[in-house]
Amino acid sequence: MADPTAAGDVLVEIRDLHFARGERVLFDGVDLRIRRGEVTAIMGPSGTGKTTLLKLIGGQLQPASGTVHVDGENVHALSLGDLYVLRRRMGMLFQSGALFTDLNVFDNVAFPLHEHTDLPETLVRDLVLLKLQAVGLRGARDLMPAQLSGGMARRVALARAIALDPTMVMYDEPFTGQDPISMGVLVDLIRRLNDSLNLTSIIVSHDVAETARIADRIHVLSGGRIVESGTPEALYASESEWVRQFMHGLPDGPVPFHYPAAVGFDDDLLGDAGSRRAS
């Protein structure tokens, strides 16, 4: 299916995407365009399937219906071989970092280079050290993943993700569980790498403040659809009460503080529940 809009400055185009995991419908008609060169954030409450969306873009999962085009190619219509060729242009940063625990930092970053290129060892060394320098961890090359802090592990994984000079990098919850300093480092790093390496970045996150600082555009995902898109400023001032609650992190609003209960509080805890009213 040739798509004229997929060319040009749109790198990733998702159309009418449906996906369910068992009984649970995660995506119910998602439409999304991600522009080349921008930092795009996909935000939403926990459990809305943001990570799943990245896996769908990367071709690791198969949608029930709908299409995902990356760089003009329909991800889910590609043969496995072509998909692997396409993936060399994608980098992905997993939430856990997903570093190979039996390899040291240097070999982790060198891994994609060794797997996909026949470069001489000296050149591989230079490239690896360049990437490590970019994330500020050239000095940590001999450490094992177990010796790294969470933030450092993520930066190493980032160096590995950009080792093959991809067109786009996907970040899965990059800020979760970070202390303020490494959070700041990562936020800054994502923006800087995006601009200096001409990347397209997709961030999946629910850390509003950090993401809003660097994102050019934010898409808010809820109930299986994109409910609102726009610049961070636009979203902070959104007309939708729900989006405002999410962006500002208000405890109560359209999303109630209380999980819906079958029986009211008074009946449940103060009266003799159930026996009188079983509605």
Partner 1 sequence: MTDLLQRIGARTLGIAERLGRAFLFLLRALAAVPSLVLRPGLVVQQIYSVGVLSLVIIVVSGVFVGLVLGLQGHTTLVNFGAEQSLGVLVALSIVRELGPVVTALLFAGRAGSALAAEIGLMKSTEQLSGMEMMAVDPMRRIIAPRLLAGFIAMPLLAAIFSFLAIFGSYVIGVGLLAVDAGAFWGQMQDAVDFREDILNGVIKSLAFGFVASWIAVFEGYDAEPTSAGVSRATTRAVVHTSLAVLGLDFVLTALMFA
Q: Which stretch binds partner 1 (CB under 8 A): 19-27, 42-50, 81-89, 223-231?
A: 81-89
Sign of CA dihedral 41, 46, 51, 57: negative
User: Where in 116-135 is the site for partner 1 (CB under 8 A)?
Assistant: 116
Beta bridge partners of 90: 168
Instruction: Provide the token pair at 5.
Output: 């809009």
Helices (H), 144-207: 150-161, 180-196
75 binds partner 1 (CB under 8 A): no
43 beta partners: 205, 220
- What angle (nearest 5°) sits at the alpha carbon of residue 193, between those of residues 111 and 210? 110
88 interacts with partner 1 by CB under 8 A: yes
Contacts by 196-199, CB closer than 8 A, 24 or more apart: 197/162, 197/165, 198/37, 199/37, 199/162, 199/166, 199/167, 199/168, 199/169
Min dist. Cβ of residue 94 to partner 1 (A): 5
Q: Which strands make up the sheet holding 168-172, listed edge to edge?
A: 90-93, 168-172, 200-205, 39-43, 217-222, 225-230
Between 82 and 241, whose beta carbon lies closer to partner 1? 82
Q: Could you say which of 7, 64, 77, 85 contacts partner 1 (CB under 8 A)?
A: 85
Query: Is position 90 an interface residue for partner 1 (rule: CB under 8 A)?
Result: yes
Q: How many residues bind partner 1 (CB under 8 A)?
A: 25
Question: 3-state class of 65 per DSSP?
Answer: strand
52 binds partner 1 (CB under 8 A): no
CB atoms within 10 A of CB 68: 22
Instruction: Answer yes or no whether residue 268 interacts with partner 1 by CB under 8 A.
Output: no
Stretch that binds partner 1, among 10-18, 85-93, 122-130, 192-200 (CB under 8 A): 85-93
Position 100 contacts partner 1 (CB under 8 A): yes
Q: Is 21 in the site for partner 1 (CB under 8 A)?
A: no
Span near partner 1 by CB under 8 A; candidates 79-87, 173-181, 211-219, 232-240 = 79-87
Task: Among 16, 21, 60, 177, indicate the residue that binds partner 1 (CB under 8 A).
Answer: 60
Phi-psi region of 58 (alpha: psi -120 to 50; beta: other; left: phi over 0): alpha
Build a one-symbol-per-residue string for 140-169: x at contacts with partner 1 by CB under 8 A, - elsewhere.
-----------------x--x---x-----
Name the residue with tokens 């079983």: 278
Interface of this chain with partner 1, residues 164 to 203, rule: CB under 8 A: 164
Which one among 112, 150, 184, 271 touches partner 1, defined by CB under 8 A?
112
Residues that bind partner 1 (CB under 8 A): 55, 58, 60, 80, 84-85, 87-88, 90-92, 94-96, 98-101, 111-112, 115-116, 157, 160, 164
